[in-house]
Amino acid sequence: MRVGVILERKPGERRVAAVPATIETMAGWGWQTVVEPGAGAAAGITDEAFAEAGAELSSDAISADLVLQVGPPAVEVIDEMVDGATVTGFLDPFVDRAILARLVDKSMTALAVEAIPRTTLAQSMDALSSQANLAGYAAVLLGSASMPRILPMMVTAAGTIPPSKALILGVGVAGLQAIATAKRLGAAVHAYDIRTETQEQVESLGARFISAPTAEADEGGYAREVEQDTQRRQHEALAPYVADADLIVTTAQIPGRPAPLLVTAEMVASMRPGAVIVDMAAGTGGNVEGSVPDETVTVGGVHIHGPTNLAAGVPADASRLYARNLISLLERARSDDGGFSLDLEDEIMGGTTVVHNGEVRHPRSLALWEAGP
């Protein structure tokens, strides 16, 4: 069983799918690991550190039986993998039909971390959560670094600086960490999410929950798309808090749908010059009107960041957690003889295997597949 760990090809991606500790774990399972030279460099992990942990360093890591990657990969990267191989990592399996098509053409098997069930049992494998948590932290630091103000209150001989006002919209995994980080840095924090149960979570972190429309989550724990009237009432309730904020971090997402619009251009125009918005949903349509993926735009003196890969900005810790997520997942598929065997009847492995030997099998991937190009 040869397991390859590749150097990520996407510009700006600094994470890696294995760290020395997880190489050692796989060696203990009898798996032979091959790491592409330089794969860990941007995350601060040298080739020597991988070699000491027991990995072979070779540029043909991508032709292994099982490829560990961060991703999502360009189709050309999948082309480099061998037919019939298994690939794991972010694969955008519910949105990117071109990736599915390549996996099918090459009779491959794909374990997509986006498809790992969000259950208590699978918590240690939940890469969406481990990376969103770090991204929420990084979003506050990004925003704070581009503000003309500090976050905490400061009483000095030269006068008192009042705390900055931070507003966090969307309180899932990333939003909770953004609240906690902004609170730790001393900001006065307000937050809002459409899901009813988030009020208690916001208040338990010492932030204030904004009174705006809430609704029950769907059976998967996710928010549903809202009607136009609800959206209008959200905008009305949020407007005064937006106008008064020094820093806004938006994280609202609806899986498989465009992100909800929470901050309109009119609301941006009401903000003070120098205020900063970090729209973490910029890559899926944006929560903020006018945000641009991976760019910073300035409108009326308000800086709007649209980062799409904040976890890559803290690559050492992001890789450490992500590599651990993959190990927890793969442990369920290792066999005692040093092999790899997928039990598709298993709730976690069956749910995560979006393509098996070239056959698309996850219901959401299947819907995308059958919709055609």
Active site residues: 118, 123, 126, 129, 222
Q: Is 363 in the site for ligand NAD (CB under 6 A)?
A: no
β-partners of residue 87 are 67, 110
Q: Where are the beta strands (DSSP E) in the chain?
A: 2-5, 32-35, 56-57, 66-68, 86-89, 109-112, 154-156, 159-161, 165-169, 188-192, 208-209, 247-250, 276-279, 296-299, 302-305, 353-356, 359-360
Residue 97's CB is within 10 A of a number of other CB atoms, namely 17
Kindly tell me which of 84 and 258 has the beta carbon lying closer to ligand NAD.
258
Min separation Cβ 287 and ligand NAD, Å: 8
Q: How many residues interact with ligand NAD (rule CB under 6 A)?
A: 29
Kindly tell me which of 220 and 373 has the beta carbon lying closer to ligand NAD.
220
Kindly tell me which of 88 and 251 has the beta carbon lying closer to ligand NAD.
251
Helix axes 97-105, 363-370, angle to 10 degrees: 90
Kindly tell me which of 255 and 358 has the beta carbon lying closer to ligand NAD.
255
Which residue has the closest beta carbon to ligand NAD? 172
**Cα–Cα distance for residue pair 308/153, rounded to 1 Å:** 30
Min separation Cβ 368 and ligand NAD, Å: 18
Distance of CA 193 to the CA centre of its chain: 18
Min separation Cβ 243 and ligand NAD, Å: 18
Min separation Cβ 257 and ligand NAD, Å: 9
- 3-state SS class at 304: strand
Kindly tell me which of 87 and 128 has the beta carbon lying closer to ligand NAD.
128
Q: Is 179 in the site for ligand NAD (CB under 6 A)?
A: no
278 within 8 A of 142, measured Cβ to Cβ = yes
Residue 335's CB is within 10 A of a number of other CB atoms, namely 11
Min separation Cβ 171 and ligand NAD, Å: 5
Q: Which of 38, 186, 255, 290 binds ligand NAD (CB under 6 A)?
A: 255
- 3-state SS class at 329: helix
With contacts defined by CB under 6 A, name the span among 28-36, 145-153, 219-227, 297-305 that binds ligand NAD: 219-227
Q: Quick one: tokens of 146? A: 């581009």
Q: Is 126 in the site for ligand NAD (CB under 6 A)?
A: yes
Which 86-125 residues touch ligand NAD, going by CB under 6 A? Answer: 118-120, 123
Kindly tell me which of 16 and 122 has the beta carbon lying closer to ligand NAD.
122
Kindly tell me which of 50 and 192 has the beta carbon lying closer to ligand NAD.
192
Helical residues (DSSP H) of 166-299, grouped into ranges? 173-184, 198-204, 228-244, 265-269
Q: Which of 260, 286, 306, 315 binds ligand NAD (CB under 6 A)?
A: 260
Q: Is 129 in the site for ligand NAD (CB under 6 A)?
A: yes
What is the DSSP code (8-state) at residue 12?
T
From the list 234, 315, 239, 301, the residue with the least C-alpha distance to 42 is 315
What is the DSSP code (8-state) at residue 263?
B
**Cα–Cα distance for residue pair 161/248, rounded to 1 Å:** 19
Q: Is 130 in the site for ligand NAD (CB under 6 A)?
A: no
Q: Is 245 in the site for ligand NAD (CB under 6 A)?
A: no
Q: Is 128 in the site for ligand NAD (CB under 6 A)?
A: yes
Q: Is 69 in the site for ligand NAD (CB under 6 A)?
A: no
Q: Which of 223, 242, 302, 311 binds ligand NAD (CB under 6 A)?
A: 223
Q: Is 171 in the site for ligand NAD (CB under 6 A)?
A: yes
Distance of CA 128 to the CA centre of its chain: 5
Contact set with ligand NAD (CB under 6 A): 118-120, 123, 126, 128-129, 132, 170-175, 193-195, 217, 221-223, 226, 251-255, 260, 262
